[in-house]
Amino acid sequence: MQIQFREYQKRDFQPLKEIIRETWRYDEFSSPKTASNLAEVFLSSCLTNYTYSQVSVLNDKAVGIILVNDIKYHRHTLYNRYRQVKSVIKLHISSEGRKVSQIFKNVKCIDSQLLSSCQKGYPAELALFAVSPCCRGKGIGKKLFHSALNYMKRRNINEFYLFTDTSCNYGFYEHQGMTRRCEKEHIFNINGQTNNMNFFIYDYQF
């Protein structure tokens, strides 16, 4: 298996959208169409919020991505902003889409509360990190993570943070030397199902 690494390209959007859809299991609580729209909203939102990208590619197809936002120097492109707005509108066309979009609002609110609880301003954020389930356990995530660390070292960034939760392999960050700073529990009620989740902020100091 020959994995290559490069910057994000527009043609990576569709395969990365499917990785996000599968990783966060959107199909478990919504129809296939809404699950696809949710993944599109999430990815397009992340793509308005980065200064560094690295994509892992297998057989000319994206199988992983990491995005870092150097907050002081961040400037989003008009194209990515337009795509984000377009994807949000597409999600809200259906009643189901409007209903499940509340999940994003709740998570965003939780993230804001966590960041406020830390009572500090970070110079950088790891804005997105995802690897295709079929490629996990092969060291791809570790290589992507260390490429992000090297980028921040070059930028003289002395610390950064990320949001994660119990739906993800958050133990990976602890194995990479990150520290859990804040935690918040939340109960979601989605289509009659109750889901209890914990949300975290992890940070890293060089």
pLDDT at 137 over 90: no
Give, as one character, the DSSP assignment of residue 40. H
CB atoms within 10 A of CB 73: 10
For every residue of 124-147, DSSP letters joined together read EEEEEEEE-GGGTTSSHHHHHHHH
pLDDT (tens digit, 9 = 90+) per residue, 25-65? 999 889 999 999 999 999 999 999 999 999 999 999 999 99
**Measured CA distances, 108 to 112, 114, 164, 199 (Å):** 6, 10, 12, 11
Query: Residue 37's domain is classified under what CATH number?
Result: 3.40.630.30
**Measured CA distances, 40 to 63, 86, 138 (Å):** 16, 10, 26
Range of the domain at 59: 3-205
Overall domain count for the chain = 1
CA dihedral 26, 4, 134, 36 (to 10 degrees): 20
Answering whether pTM is above 0.75, one says yes
pLDDT at 191 over 70: no
